[in-house]
Amino acid sequence: MEFDNTLIPVLRHGVDVIKMILWKAQKAKLTTRFADAPPEHIARLTAATLNALFGIVNDAEPHATFIREHDADIQQALSHVATDHVELRDALTDALRVQFLCDAEEGIDSQHILTQADALGLLVTERETPLPKTFMHLARVLGVAHGILDPRPDPAPPAHN
C-alpha cells in the first residue's frame, strides 16, 4: 500500500488517538494493580508500557533509569494488555499495523513491534489491515467515545465571496 506524504501524519495522528485511549485504560488498570504506588509511578509505568508496546525508546533521564529499575513491572504490564483490554484488541491491532505501514513508508523497520504484539496475544491475526479512511473513522469514533476528541464535527471552511 503506497501512501502520499500528507497521509502519513494523518494516520500517525490516528495511531496516537488509539494510544491515548490505551493510556487512560492502562493507567486505570495499573492504579488498581499497584494500589500502594504513588500516582507519578503509575503514570511512568503506564508510559513505559505503551512505549514498549509501540516500540518507542526513551533514552532520556529519568525515563531510562525508571525503565531499567522497573523492567519486570513493565514486562508484566505488557503481558496483561491483551487480557486487561480485550475491548481494545481490534483497535490496537489496527493501530500497530498502521504504524508499521507508516514506518515502512519512512524506511523504518518495525516488524518487531508486530511480532511482539502477536507473542503477547494482542494482535488479532485474522483481522484485515484497514484502509486509511476506515482506520481514521475508527480512531475518530473511539476518540470521541473515550473523551479524547471533540465530538463536534470539524467546522466548515469559511465561504469565499
Q: How confident is the model at residue 154 (pLDDT cuts 50, 70, 90)?
A: low
CB 118 within 8 A of CB 125: yes
Task: Please give the model's pTM, rounded to 2 decimal places.
Answer: 0.88
95-125: per-residue pLDDT in tens? Answer: 999 999 999 999 999 999 999 999 999 999 9
CB 30 within 8 A of CB 50: no
Sole residue written with cell 473511539: 142
| Residue 143 in this model has a pLDDT that exceeds 70 | yes
10-31: per-residue pLDDT in tens? Answer: 999 999 999 999 999 999 999 9
Residues 6+ apart with CB under 8 A from 107: none
Between the alpha carbon of residue 127 and those of residues 9, 115, 151, the distances in Å are: 23, 15, 27
Q: How many CA atoms lie within 13 A of 131 on its CB side?
A: 2
Q: Which three cell numbers stand for residue 114?
A: 508486530
73-84: per-residue pLDDT in tens? Answer: 999 999 999 999
